[in-house]
Amino acid sequence: MRITNNTLTGNYLRNLNRNLKQMQKYQNQLSSGKEVSKPSDDPMKVSRIMNLGNSISENEQFKKNIEDSLGWAKTADGSLSEVSATLLRARDLIVYGSNGTLSDTDRSALVDEMSMLTEQLTQLFNTNFDGRYIFGGQKTTEPPFSVEGGLMAYNGDNNNISREIAPKVGIDLLSDGSLFTTTEGTVTGNDDLGEILLSVKQALEDGDLEALSKDLLGDMDKHIDNVIRFRSKMGAVYNRLEAAQQRNEAENLNMTELLSKSEDIDIAEKMMEFSMMSTVYQASLSTGAKILQPSLLDYIR
């Protein structure tokens, strides 16, 4: 094979251009801090980086759902704690009202307090979190409970709110207010708490000691037990959310580390590679000065 000046020049320029592109690549990596900047750099790695980025974004949304649900559950438990205390006070009034020696003035005071307890319970069941009512089912924009004619009534729906806390993993928040105000197996047959409270008030006004000491007292105990039972379920939901939060944080940390390993450069390594390529490039330029010597034709021109 005959080697001519044109052959030497062509090979030199191709090699010089390749070295310059490689040096530019290291420059881009050092300036951006990223291993790849476009899909053509490494299609497989770019695909992996994009998948990890999407997974991290999705995980961040799950984190927000979990944090919101924790706040919801905590607020609900605090409200139910006060509901329990209020119902216990209503029970005390029933026991006290069963005393046959009370005067009309005493009974009137008990009736007034029972009305206040009904209003208080209504307010507690209308607790909201972040502008949303937590005991109205999926109707979160309007107060779910109201008092009409002395009767506490539920106006929400009978659906719990569901939240997705992990891929294809959901959890139901106990938001159906009727769960906390309705119970089965009552003595009087009135399963609704509002009706029981109204019946207690009426019995206090009428001085119906038998109804107070037997039926209504037993029904109130059932409603107290019902609220306690759902507080326990709320606690179980809260514990599960806390466990999900810990898993979410661990997964987010792992994926962030994987993403960093995939797209972030090792600065010390890249600096060394850039320095070596810069040396190679300078050597190429020096070699080119010897290869591209002026020829007789240059002088003729």
DSSP state string for 6-32: HHHHHHHHHHHHHHHHHHHHHHHHHHH
pLDDT at 80: 95
pLDDT at 301: 52
pLDDT(31) > 90: no
- On whether the CB atoms of residues 135 and 127 are closer than 8 A, the answer is yes
pLDDT(172) > 80: yes
* Region 83-90 average pLDDT: 96
Enter the CATH code of domain 55-258: 1.20.1330.10
Question: What is the Cα–Cα distance from 33 to 37, expressed in whole angstroms?
Answer: 10
Least confident of 23-37, 93-107, 185-199: 23-37
pLDDT at 1: 52
CA distances from 28 to 22, 98, 184, 287 (A): 10, 86, 71, 26
Q: What are the pLDDT digits (tens) for 110-119?
A: 999 999 999 9
pLDDT(296) > 50: no
* Region 199-204 average pLDDT: 93
Which tops the pLDDT comparison, 8 or 127? 127
pLDDT at 299: 45
pLDDT(85) > 50: yes
pLDDT(289) > 70: no
Structure confidence at residue 232 as a pLDDT band (50, 70, 90): very high
